[in-house]
Amino acid sequence: QIRAGEHRMCLYRVDSPQRLRDNIKPGDLIPVQLGAAGKVIVAFTDQKRPGTATIRKQVVVHTSGETAKGMSGIAAPVTGSDGFIGALTISGPDVRFDKAAVARFKALLLDAARNASERLGGDTSIFDD
């Protein structure tokens, strides 16, 4: 997802094979301040906003119920040669985001975001620690 003014826009989506899933589609706009991806996008594009330093330090953000009741999301930043590009996100029903799943999703997302950033010539030092 990328920033589009005061919104964030989904660029690409891989749907879950599960029937119960998040219904965001490419091109959809969501208020930028909502959800895990929104928090990552704001933290890396509006660094003077209160609370963004903590998010940049954590790198990966998990939220629940911010964009829709019963839905969770986990997001991490992707950088390119010109800096921050957008956020990779895993989203779905809260029932699939227990403590073990969140830890597993965070690790997968960190690895994918680091890999994408490296391939795009971005700063991967944000993923250290």
CA quadruple 121, 127, 128, 129: dihedral, nearest 10: 180
Q: pLDDT tens across 3-25, in order?
A: 999 999 999 988 888 887 788 89
Mean pLDDT calculated for residue range 34-59: 94
Spatial neighbors of 86 by CB under 8 A, at least 6 apart, are 1, 2, 3, 11, 37, 41, 77, 78
Q: How many residues would you count in the chain?
A: 129
- As a whole number, the mean pLDDT across the chain is 93
pTM, 2 dp: 0.92
Spell out the long-range contacts of 125-128 with Cβ–Cβ below 8 A and sequence spacing 24 or more: 126/56, 126/59, 126/77, 126/79, 127/59
